[in-house]
């Protein structure tokens, strides 16, 4: 298209997130692809907006510059102003002069030229320049006016009026309003270019990547943390006026040199010629390797052909990037590698709001990443192919474990999600939480950890409860690590969250059963119902039984088995509720377990996010350890069936032992009967476990060796403690707990700690 001798880059329309994008192909344009840096570019954009309406402007060359809705609106106002001026023609003769009094043609022609410049020519390239030209002309004219005679005044009043009218028309526009605000804040006149840059700060992204990054620094933002994830810098900021923190990611592919972009775009173009078949999509990891190899050789060829020098490291880096954006998950992949994130949410309509994440240190954060519809539909295609499950109007939920990424994705689509698809990713922890780690983050104290360890070793039945995300499943994993390694463990889950693979590697003997997910509404689900799986688990014989989450009919089967003692030795699980009483209520009233069967539960551990002094940051804490006593008939709370053994005090930020309640405990009697230990011995045992875990934390912090608390070492340390105890029982028929602790600490200091320090 040609306008006034210029070749204007071609433009096209695109709908995204229900918004109209006007996309300019700037590759063929000789001007700079930026509204703020090139007045001709501004002209092209205003010209196009004069012809077509749009919500978002995109200037596309190797990068894409994206001007959001607010910015586009500012431009559209200018276009309207130009249209208004051209309708009203303020440059017409009778707006310039009253010819009865002023006959100087030279003055009239100068006025004509000035008004045309301001309202017709300059405005389309540099609207701010036009406005300031208007202000200057007003000042100049006012001076001439006041020093001139009555004829001049009578002949020129209309001109001054026209100028003032133009000025006020300009001042209706957001561009001028914002500039004025800007200028009063600055107190000093900057160059127009700087003002344009401030107002039209575009989001920039490489053209071959869908996701946009929005960097908007604002005053008062405070850097809370900074770290690297897969060569990408992550920065966490707090915002002065927003309750959620900001999570900014800056992957290398957004800041490469133009040459490298060129190579990348070319490589992607060439390789997309060979589309992979469905089969290779379903084995992503394998096809990933294949593609990275293919990209490497293609990139080398392109670089050679175009005389671009790249070293080996750069070639590998570039091929990883292309693979990420072709066969991989795009920018999501980097977020998925940040294991400090626990969840990633992509809400519909996609493309309208940045995605947000749950961060294990900083809670909910808004990111700077805008995902696009195109990427979302590519992701859906990928998920369909990999899961071999349908996802459409009849099956609007797709719930799937991403292979190799330790991540569960739930996608929902219309009609369930009327605004289009949305995704939630849950990132599982690859190594399980351990009780010492929980002590370290103050989730619970050493005594509670020792107590839980003791209960599990003594085959108590325990349910962990709490609100969503309070750490139930994490605590359950930590509890599994306290089960003696010679016990067979059956883990039943509908979502594979417990790091079973890792636990097996560390020496646990675990059989996993995967049951059908309750949130999937898919009709072709092949997985087994939880109730059926549980019956199978019970038939597998004497094992510790771990139920990822008790949530439906299987509860009846479970309690029935526990009541008659057919459920094996240890039974532990999680259940969604917020206190021991609420667990009873759920189990009996919702899940229809007979109330007296509930007595098969020995202990309920309740966790809760605590906000100190109303702070926005919540900290997870175990708040209650409650014993379910056995002598009640209908309703345990009324009949003294719920006995808190430990209770959290917010004032002390500590889980306190309730010594008076302990005297009424029936559980210790029961354990005493089974194990033959006296109450005093049991407490010595608990305190020994507590001290050993506390000591691990102390040593970890003293020597700065976080590995000491990881599951492999922590469970080895636990084994050692138990072995030392066994040895004493065998040799002396009784246990000297202080002596064991001493031997154990020596072992830790001599054998384990030096090894970790060396690493």
Ligand X SMILES: Nc1ncnc2c1ncn2[C@@H]1O[C@H](COP(=O)(O)OP(=O)(O)OP(=O)(O)O)[C@@H](O)[C@H]1O
User: In this structure, what DSSP letter does residue 709 have?
Assistant: G
β-pair type (488-493, 509-514): parallel
Out of 14, 167, 177, 429, name the contact with ligand X by CB under 6 A: 429
Using CB under 5 A, which of the segments 287-295, 312-320, 470-478, 486-494 binds Mg ion? 470-478
Binding partner of 469, given Mg ion, ligand X, none, CB within 5-8 angstroms per partner class: ligand X
743 is an interface residue for ligand X by CB under 6 A: no
Number of shown-chain residues binding ligand X (CB under 6 A): 17
SS3 at position 618: strand
Using CB under 5 A, which of the segments 73-81, 471-479, 612-620, 655-663 binds Mg ion? 471-479
The residue whose two tokens read 């006149």 is: 189
Measured from the CB of residue 359, what is the shortest distance to Mg ion in angstroms?
18
Site for ligand X in 312-351 (CB under 6 A): 342
471 is an interface residue for ligand X by CB under 6 A: yes
Site for ligand X in 233-272 (CB under 6 A): none
360 is an interface residue for ligand X by CB under 6 A: yes
Measured from the CB of residue 474, what is the shortest distance to ligand X in angstroms?
3
Measured from the CB of residue 443, what is the shortest distance to ligand X in angstroms?
3
Q: Is 167 exposed, middle or buried (0-12, 13-18, 19+ CB in 10 A)?
A: middle
Out of 39, 296, 408, 620, name the contact with ligand X by CB under 6 A: 620
465 is an interface residue for Mg ion by CB under 5 A: no
Element (H, E) at 227: strand 222-229
Residue nearest to ligand X as judged by C-beta position: 471
Out of 287, 453, 473, 492, name the contact with ligand X by CB under 6 A: 473
- Sequence-ordered list of residues with C-beta below 8 angstroms from that of 120, at least 6 positions apart, any chain: 82, 85, 86, 91
What CA–CA distance (Å, rounded) separates 496 from 390?
A: 21
502 is an interface residue for ligand X by CB under 6 A: no
715 is an interface residue for ligand X by CB under 6 A: no
Using CB under 5 A, which of the segments 174-182, 254-262, 464-472, 624-632 binds Mg ion? 464-472
Measured from the CB of residue 428, what is the shortest distance to ligand X in angstroms?
8
What CA–CA distance (Å, rounded) separates 733 from 712?
A: 30
Measured from the CB of residue 542, what is the shortest distance to Mg ion in angstroms?
26
Out of 36, 459, 474, 713, name the contact with ligand X by CB under 6 A: 474
Binding partner of 471, given ligand X, Mg ion, none, CB within 5-8 angstroms per partner class: ligand X
What CA–CA distance (Å, rounded) separates 696 from 436?
A: 7
**In this structure, which long-range contacts are made by residues 1-4, counting pairs with CB atoms below 8 Å and at least 24 apart in sequence?**
3/44, 3/47
Number of Cβ within 10 Å of residue 138's Cβ equals: 15
473 is an interface residue for Mg ion by CB under 5 A: yes
Binding partner of 620, given ligand X, Mg ion, none, CB within 5-8 angstroms per partner class: ligand X
437 is an interface residue for Mg ion by CB under 5 A: no
> Which strands form 11-16's sheet, in the order they lie side by side?
11-16, 19-25, 56-60, 63-67, 203-206
Binding partner of 339, given ligand X, Mg ion, none, CB within 5-8 angstroms per partner class: none
515 is an interface residue for Mg ion by CB under 5 A: no
**In this structure, which long-range contacts are made by residues 187-190, counting pairs with CB atoms below 8 Å and at least 24 apart in sequence?**
none
**Residue 239 vs 429, nearer CB to ligand X:** 429
Out of 39, 296, 472, 599, name the contact with ligand X by CB under 6 A: 472
- The DSSP-derived string for 117-180 is IIIIIHHHH-HHHHHHHHHHHHHHHHHHHHTS-HHHHHHHHHHHHHHHHHHHHHHTSHHHHHHH
- Sequence-ordered list of residues with C-beta below 8 angstroms from that of 530, at least 6 positions apart, any chain: 492, 494, 515, 516, 551, 552, 553, 554
Distances (CA, A) of 50 to 76, 102, 120, 167, 609: 8, 37, 13, 22, 54
What CA–CA distance (Å, rounded) separates 299 from 270?
A: 10
Q: Is 77 exposed, middle or buried (0-12, 13-18, 19+ CB in 10 A)?
A: middle
**Residue 282 vs 467, nearer CB to Mg ion:** 467
468 is an interface residue for ligand X by CB under 6 A: yes
What CA–CA distance (Å, rounded) separates 114 from 137?
A: 8
Crossing angle (nearest 10°) for helices 174-186 and 192-199: 110
438 is an interface residue for ligand X by CB under 6 A: yes
**Residue 473 vs 579, nearer CB to Mg ion:** 473
Out of 466, 499, 568, 641, name the contact with ligand X by CB under 6 A: 466
648 is an interface residue for ligand X by CB under 6 A: no
What CA–CA distance (Å, rounded) separates 571 from 480?
A: 10
**Residue 118 vs 491, nearer CB to ligand X:** 491
In the stretch 371-410, what mask flags binding to ligand X with x, by CB under 6 A?
Answer: ----------------------------------------
Out of 441, 521, 716, 756, name the contact with ligand X by CB under 6 A: 441
Residue nearest to Mg ion as judged by C-beta position: 473
Crossing angle (nearest 10°) for helices 127-146 and 150-171: 160
Phi/psi at 28 (5° precision): -95, 5
Pair of tokens at residue 409: 């994705």
Measured from the CB of residue 452, what is the shortest distance to ligand X in angstroms?
14
β-pair type (422-427, 341-346): antiparallel
Number of shown-chain residues binding Mg ion (CB under 5 A): 2
**Residue 119 vs 495, nearer CB to ligand X:** 495
Using CB under 6 A, which of the segments 29-37, 203-211, 469-477, 727-735 binds ligand X? 469-477
Measured from the CB of residue 364, what is the shortest distance to ligand X in angstroms?
12
Using CB under 6 A, which of the segments 385-393, 467-475, 519-527, 552-560 binds ligand X? 467-475
CB 707 within 8 A of CB 713: yes
Binding partner of 360, given ligand X, Mg ion, none, CB within 5-8 angstroms per partner class: ligand X
469 is an interface residue for ligand X by CB under 6 A: yes
Pair of tokens at residue 674: 């089974």
Enumerate binding residues for Mg ion (CB under 5 A).
472-473
Residues that bind ligand X in the complex, under the rule CB under 6 A: 342, 360, 429, 438, 441, 443, 466, 468-474, 574, 576, 620
């Amino acid at each position: 298209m040609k306008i006034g001798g210029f070749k204007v880059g071609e433009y096209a329309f695109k709908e995204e997130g229900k918004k109209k994008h006007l996309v300019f192909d700037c590759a063929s344009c000789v001007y700079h692809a930026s509204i703020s840096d090139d007045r001709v570019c501004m002209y092209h954009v205003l010209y196009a907006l004069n012809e077509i309406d749009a919500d978002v402007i995109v200037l596309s060359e190797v990068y894409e510059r994206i001007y959001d809705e607010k910015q586009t609106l500012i431009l559209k106002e200018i276009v309207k102003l130009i249209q208004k001026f051209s309708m009203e023609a303020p440059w017409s003769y009778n707006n310039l002069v009253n010819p009865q009094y002023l006959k100087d043609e030279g003055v009239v022609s100068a006025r004509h030229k000035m008004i045309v410049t301001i309202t017709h020519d300059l405005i389309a390239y540099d609207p701010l320049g036009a406005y300031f030209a208007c202000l200057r002309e007003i000042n100049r004219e006012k001076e001439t006016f006041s020093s001139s005679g009555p004829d001049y005044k009578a002949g020129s009043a209309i001109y001054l009026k026209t100028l003032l009218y133009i000025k006020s028309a300009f001042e209706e526009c957001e561009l001028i309003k914002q500039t004025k605000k800007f200028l009063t804040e600055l107190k000093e006149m900057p160059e127009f270019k700087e003002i344009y840059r401030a107002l039209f700060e575009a989001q920039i992204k490489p053209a071959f990547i869908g996701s946009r990054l929005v960097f908007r620094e604002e005053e008062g933002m405070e850097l809370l943390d900074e770290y690297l994830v897969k060569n990408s810098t992550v920065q966490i900021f707090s915002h002065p006026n927003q309750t959620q923190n900001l999570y900014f990611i800056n992957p290398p592919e957004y800041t490469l040199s133009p040459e490298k972009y060129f190579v990348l775009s070319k490589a992607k173009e060439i390789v997309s010629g060979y589309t992979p078949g469905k089969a290779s999509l379903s084995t992503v990891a394998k096809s990933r390797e294949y593609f990275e190899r293919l990209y490497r050789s293609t990139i080398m060829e392109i670089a050679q052909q175009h005389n671009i020098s790249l070293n080996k490291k750069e070639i590998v880096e570039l091929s990883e990037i292309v693979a990420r954006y072709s066969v991989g998950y795009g920018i999501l992949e980097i977020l998925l590698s940040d294991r400090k994130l626990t969840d990633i949410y992509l809400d519909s309509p996609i493309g309208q709001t940045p995605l947000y994440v749950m961060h294990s240190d900083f809670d909910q954060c808004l990111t700077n990443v805008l995902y696009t519809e195109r990427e979302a539909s590519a992701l859906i295609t990928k998920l369909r192919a990999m899961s071999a499950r349908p996802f459409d109007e009849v099956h609007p939920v797709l719930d799937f474990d991403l292979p190799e990424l330790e991540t569960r994705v739930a996608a929902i689509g219309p009609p369930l999600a009327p605004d289009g698809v949305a995704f939630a990713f849950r990132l599982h922890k690859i190594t399980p939480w351990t009780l010492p780690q929980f002590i370290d983050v103050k989730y619970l104290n050493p005594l509670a950890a020792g107590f839980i360890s003791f209960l599990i070793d003594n085959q108590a039945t325990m349910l962990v409860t709490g609100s969503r995300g309070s750490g139930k499943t994490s605590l359950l994993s930590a509890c599994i690590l306290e089960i003696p390694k010679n016990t067979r463990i059956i883990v039943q889950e509908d979502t594979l969250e417990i790091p079973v693979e890792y636990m097996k590697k560390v020496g646990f003997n675990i059989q996993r059963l995967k049951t059908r997910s309750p949130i999937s509404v898919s009709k072709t689900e092949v997985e087994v119902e939880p109730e059926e799986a549980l019956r199978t688990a019970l038939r597998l014989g004497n094992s510790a039984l771990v139920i990822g989450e008790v949530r439906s009919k299987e509860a009846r089967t479970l309690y029935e088995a526990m009541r008659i003692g057919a459920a094996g030795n240890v039974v532990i699980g999680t259940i969604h509720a917020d206190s021991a009483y609420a667990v009873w209520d759920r189990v009996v009233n919702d899940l229809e377990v007979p109330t007296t069967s509930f007595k098969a539960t020995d202990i309920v551990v309740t966790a809760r996010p605590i906000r100190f002094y109303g702070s926005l940051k919540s900290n997870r804490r175990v708040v209650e350890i409650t014993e379910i006593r056995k002598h009640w008939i209908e309703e345990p709370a009324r009949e003294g069936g719920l006995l808190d053994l430990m209770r959290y005090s917010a004032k002390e930020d500590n889980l306190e032992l309730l010594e008076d309640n302990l005297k009424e405990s029936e559980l210790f009697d029961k354990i005493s009967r089974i194990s033959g230990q006296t109450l005093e011995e049991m407490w010595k045992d608990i305190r020994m476990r507590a001290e050993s875990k506390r000591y691990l934390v102390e040593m970890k912090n003293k020597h700065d060796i976080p590995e000491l608390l990881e599951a492999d070492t922590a469970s080895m340390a636990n084994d050692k403690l138990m072995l030392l105890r066994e040895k004493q029982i065998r040799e002396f028929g009784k246990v000297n707990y202080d002596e064991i602790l001493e031997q154990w600490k020596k072992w830790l200091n001599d054998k384990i700690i030096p090894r970790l320090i060396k690493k």
